[in-house]
Amino acid sequence: MGSPITTWENAQAYFTGAGGFTPTLFLFLAVAAVVVALVVGHRHESHSYTEVDK
Amino acid sequence: METELAEMAAKLAALEESVGWTTTIAVEAFYWWCTGLMVIIHAGFLAYEMGASRKKNVLASGIKNILAFAFVIPTFYFIGWWIYLAFPGGLIPNFEEGAAGLPWSEAMGPNLADNASGIFWAAFTLFAATTASIFSGAVIERIRLSSFIVLAVLLGSVVWILGASWAWHGSGWLLTEWGWHDFGAAGCVHMIAGFYALGVLINLGPRIGKFNADGSANDLRPHNMPFAVTGLMLIIVGFFGFLGGCIIYNGTGQWTTIFGNPATLSAIGFNTLMCFAGGIIMAWLLTRDPFWMMSGALAGIFGAAPGLDVYYPPTAFLLGMGGATAAVYGARFIEKLGIDDAVGAVGVHGFAGVFGVLAFGLFASGYPNGDYPATSFLGQLVGAGAMFALGFIPGYVFSKILSVMGILRIPESAEVLGMDRAKVPAEAYPEDGVSVPA
């Protein structure tokens, strides 16, 4: 996590955590967030339509 | 003397470095602004889609359109760029070529040694979102939002970009084996999105009230025609960014197309405006309807899009008229088949896209492609078949699965009541008594 570099001299990939484990963790969290958002949206939608039928 | 030579050499080296940076930054800046202009396409689609909806569904249509954009962006990051880089040869991925597009690649984030990956990813992400928005308009007022998002992600982050890898890539098999040419993406963007929408529409079914028992169609009119027409004009504005993103800014030499041939922005300037005008005039002659006039403008651009880099401008004007004709008659044809395309997306993007791709084969065969086959009608025909299949089959199959699962379409009660009242915690026109039951 944090800066992967100690100097800007000859720096290349400098995004947070580059070369370490955390980018993979955040990638999986981002994928999970997309999936969870979709599932929550689906459940809200189903609930709303059930309410209409009541 | 030696000191002077050393000073001159140092100045020359500094000058070379300066020119190199100017070139790099200019290329990056060019695609940055193309991407920014392409966001206007989505402002246009949002206005167009909400305007085309009836009052009772206007916010639900807006939400659907906005979420298509939002979900395509991260999913395109997760998988889309890798597909583009890995699949130019067909259906077997090239893992070595694709590696730079994997989301854990060092190229897929801030990197001082790479001024290209992010800006090209951004531009292609906007192309991806455009395909999802094209599909979005066709299915308004009865599709379930969550199923729509799944289908939009499939189109924007998988299907179209596979088509782009085949048909819009310097090593794509349609170019290397068939001499395919499609400057403005009439095939991989418009045909794929249009026919994907057609595949979904078949399974989704028409809106309640669209067709009568005898098969005749009713006109479910847009609730706000001025808003829809203005949205269409905004899409045209954004298309100048889209078409700018279709040309390669090499920095140190002439522009080239994705297919490697030299080109100029001047050519695109001539032909884009001419086919735009041809599309409007033809749609006006055929319909007198401002909604279709502006749709005709889009169809006119798609009718000439494959050859915007090479056409004689009056030819582009006439092809614009042809694109609009294909769109209007294409839309009427699918309506006669009992398919309810709420905004004419299949006609405008699918039929006009096919027209444009094939017209290039008729009017622009013989342009050289280096070591690859020259442009030809056969190459365009093969490409058109591939783009149709790549759009239609996934759209049909995946929407069929969702339909069988019972989650493709909203319940009839909600459709009659209106989607806004059923599930949106806001009102579009609170002083107006929105959500009028059908």
Indicate the residue of B104, B112, B407 with minimum beta-carbon distance to A23. B104
B438 pLDDT band, cuts 50/70/90, is very low
A27 compared with B434, residue with greater pLDDT: A27
User: What SS3 state is found at B75?
Assistant: helix
Contact present, B105 and B53 (Cβ < 8 Å) = no
Please report which helix (H) or strand (E) contains residue B247, including its range. strand B247-248
Q: What percent of chain B has pLDDT over 90?
A: 96
List, for residues B338-356, the tens digit of each pLDDT value: 999 999 999 999 999 999 9
Whole-angstrom Cα distance, residue B195 to residue B159? Answer: 12
Name residues 24-53 of chain A within 8 A of B (Cβ).
Answer: 24, 27, 30-31, 34, 38, 41-42, 44-45, 48-49, 51-53
Contact present, B149 and B68 (Cβ < 8 Å) = yes
Whole-angstrom Cα distance, residue B378 to residue B90? Answer: 19
Give the Å distances, CA to CA, from B285 to B279, B296, B393.
10, 10, 34
Q: CB of B354 within 8 Å of any CB in chain A?
A: no
Please report which helix (H) or strand (E) contains residue B79, including its range. none
Cβ atoms within 10 Å, residue B189: 28
Q: Which residues on B lie below 8 Å from A28 (Cβ)?
A: none
Nearest to B361 by CA among B342, B374, B345, B347: B374
Q: Residue B380: pLDDT above 80?
A: yes
pLDDT of residue B399: 98
Task: Spell B211-241 as b/e; 16+ CB within 10 A means b.
Answer: beeeeeeeebebbbeebbbbbbebbbebbbb
In sequence order, which residues have a C-beta less than 8 Å from that of residue B385 and are 6 or more positions away?
none
In sequence order, which residues have a C-beta less than 8 Å from that of residue B371 and are 6 or more positions away?
none
Q: Residue B437: pLDDT above 80?
A: no
Whole-angstrom Cα distance, residue B77 to residue B156? Answer: 11
Q: Which residues on A lie below 8 Å from B75 (Cβ)?
A: 34
HSE (side-chain half, CA atoms, 13 Å) at A4 = 18
pLDDT of residue B370: 85
List, for residues B166-208, the tens digit of each pLDDT value: 999 999 999 999 999 999 999 999 999 999 999 999 999 999 9
Please report which helix (H) or strand (E) contains residue B256, including its range. strand B256-257
Long-range contacts of A43-49 (CB under 8 A, 24+ apart): A44/B423, A45/B144, A45/B145, A45/B146, A45/B423, A48/B414, A48/B422, A48/B423, A49/B410, A49/B411, A49/B413, A49/B414, A49/B422, A49/B423
Whole-angstrom Cα distance, residue B143 to residue B395? Answer: 14
Contact check, Cβ <8 Å, A23/B150: no
Q: Residue A51: pLDDT above 90?
A: no
Mutation for testing the B interface, residue in A22, A34, A44 having most B CBs under 10 Å: A34
Long-range contacts of B377-384 (CB under 8 A, 24+ apart): B378/B178, B379/B174, B379/B178, B379/B179, B379/B180, B379/B181, B380/B180, B380/B181, B380/B306, B382/B174, B382/B178, B382/B180, B383/B167, B383/B174, B383/B178, B383/B180, B383/B182, B383/B187, B383/B357, B384/B187, B384/B191, B384/B354, B384/B357, B384/B358
Look-up of token digits 């070595």? B96
Please report which helix (H) or strand (E) contains residue B248, including its range. strand B247-248
Residue type for B167, please? A
pTM assigned to the model: 0.95
List, for residues B12-40, the tens digit of each pLDDT value: 999 999 999 999 999 999 999 999 999 99
Q: Residue A14: pLDDT above 60?
A: yes
| Helix, strand, coil share of chain B (percent; to 5) | 70, 5, 30
Nearest to B301 by CA among B346, B341, B255, B349: B349
Across the range B145-156, mean pLDDT stands at 98
Work out the burial of residue B254: count CB atoms within 10 Å of its CB; fewer than 13 is exposed, 13-18 middle, 19 or more buried: exposed
List, for residues B238-285, the tens digit of each pLDDT value: 999 999 999 999 988 999 999 999 999 999 999 999 999 999 999 999
pLDDT of residue B376: 98
Q: CB of B423 within 8 Å of any CB in chain A?
A: yes
Q: What percent of chain B has pLDDT over 70?
A: 99
**Chain centroid to CA A11: how far?**
26
Give the Å distances, CA to CA, from A52 to A42, B140, B416.
16, 19, 10
Nearest to B307 by CA among B348, B349, B367: B367
pLDDT of residue B433: 59
pLDDT of residue B251: 84
Find, in chain A, the residue whose alpha carbon is nearest to that of B103. A27
Indicate the residue of B110, B146, B417 with minimum beta-carbon distance to A45. B146
Largest Cα separation within chain B, whole Å, is 96
**Residue B235 region by backbone torsions, left for phi larger than 0, else alpha for psi between -120 and 50, else beta:** alpha
Nearest to B279 by CA among B333, B355, B182, B178: B355
pLDDT of residue B155: 98
Min distance B396 CA to chain A CA atoms (Å): 21
Average per-residue pLDDT in chain B? 95
